[in-house]
Amino acid sequence: MALKGVTLMKPIRVLFLFSILILIWAAWAPGTGSVRAASVPEVPSSEPPPPTIASTVDREISSVEKLMVETAEAMPEDKFNFSPESLQIPGADYQGVRTFALEVKHVAASNYALWSPLTGDKFPENFLGGNGPAELKTKAEILKFLKDSFALGHRAAATLTTENMLQTAEHSKSPRLRLATFAVAHAYDHYGQLVEYLRMNGIVPPASRGKSD
């Protein structure tokens, strides 16, 4: 009886071992493993990429861009040529200061002047003088000019690396990093002036508004 049991079990064991070998071969055969791996979807990393000089400067440009664009959009078309000089405030001296429109155009023209050496763009001759093109008069035209200037800023930031950030920019005496960051500081300076222009017209600046405003 024992011999008969052994005789019957051998084919089952052989078949079982043969099945295991087939499974192992299927898992490790050339090409099969790579197909299986490719079929498994990759889980995206939840961690943001490490910051770089380019991404850090670009973030600062985005911050001041948002403030400037929203402020310019908040001023009504019929107030775009407003200047505090028209208020004739006793004891104040606003004679000859820029209008709201000229303030916005000044920032845009300065952005082109500071960022174009980084991108290699040619600085247009009609941007000279600090107030930008004289032919831009409507709110829509001036807003486009402002937005286009910040688009140039993002391209300028993208050129920055740890290797070139302290190199002198083409057609400039300043390092590339200084030009990139000074444009941001300059825009913040004039943003503060534009905020006052809004306040003088009874308009709360967008950045100062609460959820209920």
Q: Which CATH architecture has domain 56-207?
A: Up-down Bundle (1.20)
DSSP conformational letter for 172: -
Most confident of 16-20, 35-39, 157-161: 157-161
**Taking the model in full, what pTM does it have?**
0.75
Q: What angle do CA 180, 62, 131 make, to 5 degrees?
A: 65
Give me the mean pLDDT over the 93-108 stretch: 94
Give me the mean pLDDT over the 144-151 stretch: 97
Q: pLDDT, tens digit, for every residue of 177-187?
A: 999 999 999 99
Q: Calculate helix-pair angle for 100-119, 176-200, nearest 10 degrees.
A: 170
Q: Would you say 74 and 54 are in contact if contact means Cβ atoms under 8 Å apart?
A: no
Q: pLDDT tier at 75 (50, 70, 90 boundaries)?
A: very high
From 43-47, 52-56, 73-77, the region with the lowest mean pLDDT: 43-47
pLDDT the model gives residue 15? 45
Q: pLDDT tier at 130 (50, 70, 90 boundaries)?
A: confident
**Average pLDDT over the chain, rounded to whole?**
83
Q: Would you say 113 and 127 are in contact if contact means Cβ atoms under 8 Å apart?
A: yes
Q: pLDDT tier at 9 (50, 70, 90 boundaries)?
A: very low
For the chain, the structural domain boundaries read 56-207
pLDDT the model gives residue 73? 97
Which residue's structure tokens are 């670009």?
A: 58
Rg of the chain taking only CA atoms, in angstroms: 33
pLDDT the model gives residue 44? 65
